[in-house]
Amino acid sequence: MQEHVKKTDSGIPIQKVYTQQDLPQNFDGNLMPGDFPYTRGVQPDMYLGKLWTMRQYAGFSTAEQSNQRYHFLLSQGVMGLSVAFDLPTQIGYDPDHMLSEGEVGKVGVSVSSLADMEVLFKDIPLDKISTSMTINATSFILLALYVALAKKRGIDIKQLSGTIQNDILKEYAARGTYIYPPKYSMRIITDIFEWCGTNLPKWNSISISGYHIREAGSTAVQEIAFTLSNGKAYVKAAIEKGLDINVFGKRLSFFFNAHNNLFEEVAKFRAARKMWANIMRDFGATDPKALMLRFHTQTGGATLTAQQPHNNISRVTIQTIAAVLGGTQSLHTNGFDEALGLPTEEAASIALRTQQIVAYESGITETVDPLAGSFFIENLTTQIELEANKIIKEIDEMGGSVVAIENGYMQNKIANSAYSYQKKIESKEKIIVGVNEFKSDTSSAIPILKIDEKIRQEQIEKLNTIKAIRDQYKVNSCLAAIKNAAKGTENLMPLVIAAVENLCTLGEISDTLRTVYGEFQA
């Protein structure tokens, strides 16, 4: 009887045992952390010098309520804020737009003006904390609001540190919160690169995201292949705009998912660093910091189960360990209740404590890249690299990520992987504890955070107050300037900053660009 071959979730065969003969042919046992191609980490001392930034992704309801949660998280040891925005904010609608109905404040905080931003960051020192904003199609407006707030407080904007996600290509491929057609979205992104390169030296002007690609159903191999391919598209667009790869390359960051297959996840992170270093070198980058893949990790939302939700604490712990062993620079851990709703304060606290226990009690931070030299890990790292590079080569031969997205290649690959994975769950080839095996008839009474439907009306009233006190002539002038610049080549960022300073709203700025660029139809 033939023995069943075990495979990783990406379909890579796993041997019963690994020996020295399974090490890659080009394996360099003398490679040190901090050495090109950074397989072992981007810093020689990694967490011995500084722990990863512990973030908790948070934002819900109003700016007032989200601000309270941020202060709670900072008091509990969070090192940087990670802001979640509601769907209307993500796709460029103010709360009073008819398409905002039923969505205001639901999956994140509602922000449409500088007044909202002031409340959101009340009593939070922008020059002393790092802020990550998960926002894509309207990322340039949220960055403008953040900069305008800092200027209003008298803060030197060169001291601002943080990240905007700003990765629109994965929205077309996996997530759907796009507004404009790809070529116009790419123009906005390169405008951000250019402006940040001069004005925000500590700011990461894009976080190229594999997280949502994985959440949509891709494999680990596809996650890094599609993400790095998208990264290549952004680099190419920036070079074509005349930007210096050794300048903007240092401010590129990545955002990956961490799932439960511990060793595959660790190998994925190691392979991604090596691949990106070689990609950037091939583009002509020479500055070591422009060659380094720095990444934020979030534990896998799609792995959380509504059944037996307390089991999710164990899942998040495994995923945290994978991210740390893989060398992440920043980490968000999901609340155990997020398959049911937005995380409660208790769930967010447990998630943060999970990071802190791994950091301070597990011992795995006390040496750099402790799995290096493992016959299995080194072999798996190489296998993932080879498989991912095959996919990237296919995409390159099509003409790059934009073409691959426009012809549905990425979307189809992700959908097929998601379907295959679901079939394995239904056939019990893949066991999910509490879902298709080890079920329980008893249910836990889990408190669920609910958002009051009155939030939308409250936000509309705030919006109307802002519109009543602003100078409409200045508003019209600012929006006209943005429209004219959009038709030409002038950088949009200074004009958008001026617009939000004069209390133009997110919806008004987005709609102004809609009149020039139109909207993308999938």
207-232: per-residue pLDDT in tens? 999 999 999 999 999 999 999 999 99
Model pLDDT, residue 56: 86
Model pLDDT, residue 2: 52
Closest residue by Cα to residue 49 from 34, 29, 30: 34
* Peptide bond connecting 37 to the previous residue in cis, omega within 30 degrees of 0: yes
Closest residue by Cα to residue 40 from 28, 24, 52, 26: 28
Decide: 118 and 148 in contact? Cβ < 8 Å: no
**Residue 308 burial by Cβ neighbours in a 10 Å radius (0-12, 13-18, 19+):** middle
The whole-angstrom separation of Cα 491 and Cα 94 is 24
Decide: 99 and 87 in contact? Cβ < 8 Å: no
**Residue 158 burial by Cβ neighbours in a 10 Å radius (0-12, 13-18, 19+):** middle
DSSP state of 518: -
DSSP state of 175: I
The whole-angstrom separation of Cα 210 and Cα 220 is 9
The whole-angstrom separation of Cα 145 and Cα 148 is 5
Helix (H, G, I), strand (E, B) or coil at 385: helix
Model pLDDT, residue 1: 42
pLDDT digit string (tens) for the chain, length 522 residues: 456 789 999 999 999 999 999 999 989 999 999 999 999 999 999 999 999 999 988 888 899 999 999 999 999 999 889 999 999 999 999 999 999 999 999 999 999 999 999 999 999 999 999 999 999 999 999 999 999 999 999 999 999 999 999 999 999 999 999 999 999 999 999 999 999 999 999 999 999 999 999 999 999 999 999 999 999 999 999 999 999 999 999 999 999 999 999 999 999 999 999 999 999 999 999 999 999 999 999 999 999 999 999 999 999 999 999 999 999 999 999 999 999 988 999 999 999 999 999 999 999 999 999 999 999 999 999 999 999 999 999 999 999 999 999 999 999 999 999 999 999 999 999 999 999 999 998 777 788 888 788 999 999 999 999 999 999 999 999 999 999 999 999 999 999 999 999 999 999 999 999 999 999 988
Q: Give residues with Cβ within 8 angstroms of 35, minimum separation 6.
A: none
The whole-angstrom separation of Cα 310 and Cα 332 is 18
DSSP-assigned states of every residue in 418-484: HHHHHHHHHTTSS--BTTTBS--S-------B---TTHHHHHHHHHHHHHHHS-HHHHHHHHHHHHH
Per the structure block, which two tokens stand in for 367? Answer: 């040496």
Model pLDDT, residue 3: 61
Per the structure block, which two tokens stand in for 18? Answer: 């690994």
Q: Give residues with Cβ within 8 angstroms of 140, minimum separation 6.
A: 166, 188, 191, 192, 492, 493, 496
Inter-CA distances, 270 with 139, 175, 356, 467, Å: 29, 26, 23, 50
pLDDT digits over 339-368, tens only?
Answer: 998 899 999 999 999 999 999 999 999 999
Per the structure block, which two tokens stand in for 392? Answer: 């990237």
Per the structure block, which two tokens stand in for 228? Answer: 């790095």
Decide: 189 and 209 in contact? Cβ < 8 Å: no
pLDDT digits over 402-437, tens only?
Answer: 999 999 999 999 999 999 999 999 999 999 999 999
Helical spans, DSSP H, in 100-219: 114-120, 139-152, 169-170, 182-199, 211-215
The whole-angstrom separation of Cα 289 and Cα 249 is 8
Instruction: Give the Cα-Cα-Cα angle 487, 488, 490 (nearest 5 degrees).
Output: 125
The tokens 């943060």 sit on which residue?
A: 352
User: Residue 161: enclosing H or E segment and its boundaries?
Assistant: strand 161-164
* Bridge partners (DSSP) listed for residue 200: none
Closest residue by Cα to residue 417 from 10, 5, 4: 10
Q: Give residues with Cβ within 8 angstroms of 131, minimum separation 6.
A: 80, 81, 82, 83, 121, 146, 160, 161, 162, 163
